[in-house]
């Protein structure tokens, strides 16, 4: 199913795993970190599995804890706590090592981060035809660093980051704010993202158009062996205007 996108006057993109391979960078960053700095006597694969298990315990309830306000501003405290919890699973109580692992992981992940191959072609094709923006969840410092590392800031007149707004997708206030700065009605806006819950369903519920990009690489390291495939469309939920596998597929949907 492909919806009619002729009414679209402005386009917003998600960042991680929509424009750049964040999970790929995260997976490589974790492996390199544990290979170089992990505690002796523990295989890298085991360390990654313990990190994934501790992430599944720590991350889902983060927004309901005292950690969240700090997380909005800086990724370091929760990233370091994540490493500390990983070590605790191994019976290791070493906050200093947790801090070393946290810093190394951030650096290795950032070094591995790259745009998907078709992103610049698409942004160059769209930039003079539509106001372009970013709506991305995550700590303010991490998301700003990613935009800098990727060298894409010049494409986006409006950038909305969870850490800078105090809330993120799928909150309605985030989408309303994004709509107001481009002076568009909801039906004139398009959201392009990889997360059905945060990007697609939210946009559709608020009256936007939505194109869901689904890549085989879009599997987080925390999934371990339990969830080896990308997210599926929940039964009975709103259907996006289109589902694509690469960003270049967006252009013909817009009549280009």
**What would the pLDDT profile of 36-66 be if each residue is shown by its tens digit?**
999 999 999 999 999 999 999 999 889 999 9
Q: Do 116 and 97 form a contact (C-beta atoms < 8 A)?
A: no
Residue-level pLDDT at 230 = 67
pLDDT band at 6 (very low <50, low <70, confident <90, very high): confident
- Rounded mean pLDDT, 119-133: 97
pLDDT in tens, 172-224: 999 999 999 999 999 999 999 999 999 999 999 999 999 999 998 888 888 76
**4 pLDDT more than 70:** yes
* C-alpha to C-alpha distances, 83 to 29, 89, 175, nearest whole angstrom: 13, 10, 33
pLDDT of residue 149: 97
The model scores a pTM over 0.85 = yes
Average pLDDT over residues 124-145: 97
Distance, CA of 137 to CA of 183 (rounded, Å): 23
Q: What is the number of other CB atoms lying within 10 angstroms of the CB of residue 151? A: 10
State the pLDDT at residue 1: 53
Determine contact, residues 202/170, Cβ cutoff 8 Å.
yes
159 closest CA partner among 20, 17, 15, 9 = 15
* Residue given tokens 């070094």 in the structure block: 111
Tokens representing residue 140 in the block: 């303010």
Among the residue ranges 14-28, 45-59, 80-94, 232-246, the one predicted with the least confidence is: 232-246
Looking at residue 222, what is its pLDDT? 83
Mean pLDDT for all residues in the chain: 94
Structure tokens at 22: 């964040």
């Amino acid at each position: 199913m492909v919806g009619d996108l002729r009414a679209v006057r402005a386009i917003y993109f998600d960042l991680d795993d929509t424009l750049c391979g964040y999970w790929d960078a995260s997976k490589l960053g974790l492996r390199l970190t544990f290979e170089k700095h992990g505690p002796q006597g523990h295989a890298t694969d085991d360390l990654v599995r313990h990190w994934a298990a501790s992430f599944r315990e720590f991350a889902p309830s983060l927004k309901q804890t005292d950690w969240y306000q700090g997380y909005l501003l800086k990724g370091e405290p929760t990233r370091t706590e994540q490493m500390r919890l990983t070590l605790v699973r191994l019976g290791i109580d070493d906050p200093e090592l947790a801090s070393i692992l946290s810093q190394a992981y951030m650096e290795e992940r950032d070094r591995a981060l790259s745009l998907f191959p078709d992103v610049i072609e698409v942004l160059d094709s769209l930039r003079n035809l539509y106001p372009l923006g970013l709506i991305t969840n995550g700590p303010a410092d991490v998301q700003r660093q990613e935009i800098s590392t990727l060298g894409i800031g010049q494409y986006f007149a409006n950038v909305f980051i969870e850490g800078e707004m105090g809330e993120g997708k799928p909150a309605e206030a985030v989408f309303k704010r994004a709509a107001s700065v481009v002076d568009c009605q909801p039906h004139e806006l398009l959201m392009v993202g990889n997360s059905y819950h945060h990007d697609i369903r939210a946009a559709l519920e608020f009256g936007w158009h939505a194109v869901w990009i689904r890549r085989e690489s879009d599997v987080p390291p925390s999934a371990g062996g339990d969830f080896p495939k990308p997210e599926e469309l929940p039964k009975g939920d709103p259907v996006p205007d289109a589902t694509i596998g690469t960003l270049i597929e967006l252009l013909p949907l817009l009549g280009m």
